Amino acid sequence: MRILVVEDARSLAEVVAEGLRDQGMAVDLAYDGLSAAAKVDLTAYHVVVLDRDLPGLPGDVLCQMITERPDRPMVLMLTAAGTPGDRVSGLALGADDYLAKPFHFPELILRIQALARRKPDARPRILRAAGIELDPVRRTAARNDRQLDLSVKEFALLHALMSASPGFLSAEQLLEQVWDEHADPFTNTVTVTIGRLRRKLGEPPVIATTPGVGYRLA
């Protein structure tokens, strides 16, 4: 799941990003509205976590720009403007959810996960393929009723492959979905993580590789 956090308070933005990464999400950061708009143009995000009070381009304007896109991400406004009137005006701009600061971090995670499931091209909450069952909310995965002990990145990688199944994902697409904009496109991180995931999934092998195309669940 790819998330964009737009927050001009850098310390808060980094805390939120780190917490979401601990949940296996790929997180990019923008500290002003203009850089956020540029990132949305370049990357297909599942959810944008958006502050309303931003330099460069106000959050309200950015929200309207995002929600007018045909392939738009879901928008969660995360802001200190927390009165009922603020909430109504934010939702009226097209935001899909609204959470006032200060907030409870587990609630933020659940709201982001709920928005990702509501996205028009989202898959059902519990994914099933090749004898594997994955629940991204409870963060559990099993193959043929055998629970899998996966790291954060292994879980996110399996989630991406199952969401795309039966289609292929290239190494570049997996870097984009599972890591973030700072991932080195020339790294062998995807290959190494795929190898660990294959071992944990066990026999018979279920991750197929086609050179020049990518990976998929067989």
Domain around 71? 2-118
pLDDT band at 29 (very low <50, low <70, confident <90, very high): very high
From 118, 138, 163, give the residue that closes a domain: 118
Same domain, 147 and 164: yes
b (16+ CB within 10 A) / e for 96-126: bbbbeeeeeeeebbebbbbbbeebeeebeee
Domain identity same for 15 and 114? yes
The residue with greater pLDDT, 125 or 92, is 92
Let me know whether 16 and 85 are in one domain: yes
141 and 64 part of one domain: no
- Number of compact structural domains in the chain: 2
| Residues 80 and 159 occupy one common structural domain | no
The 10s digit of each residue's pLDDT in 137-183 is 788 999 998 999 999 999 999 999 998 888 888 988 888 888 877 77
Same domain as 96, residue 47 = yes
Query: Is 6 in the same domain as 43?
Result: yes
State whether 114 and 204 are in the same domain.
Answer: no
- Boundary residue ending a domain (86, 118, 150): 118
Cα angle at 172 between 170 and 177, to 5 degrees? 95
Domain endpoint, select from 89, 118, 147: 118
What CATH number does residue 163 fall under? 1.10.10.10
* Percent of the chain clearing pLDDT 90 (strictly above): 56
Instruction: Quickly state the pLDDT bin for 93 (edges 50, 70, 90).
Output: confident
Query: What pLDDT score was predicted for residue 109?
Result: 93
pLDDT of 97 above 90: yes
Same domain for 211 and 141? yes
Task: Give the pLDDT of residue 67.
Answer: 87
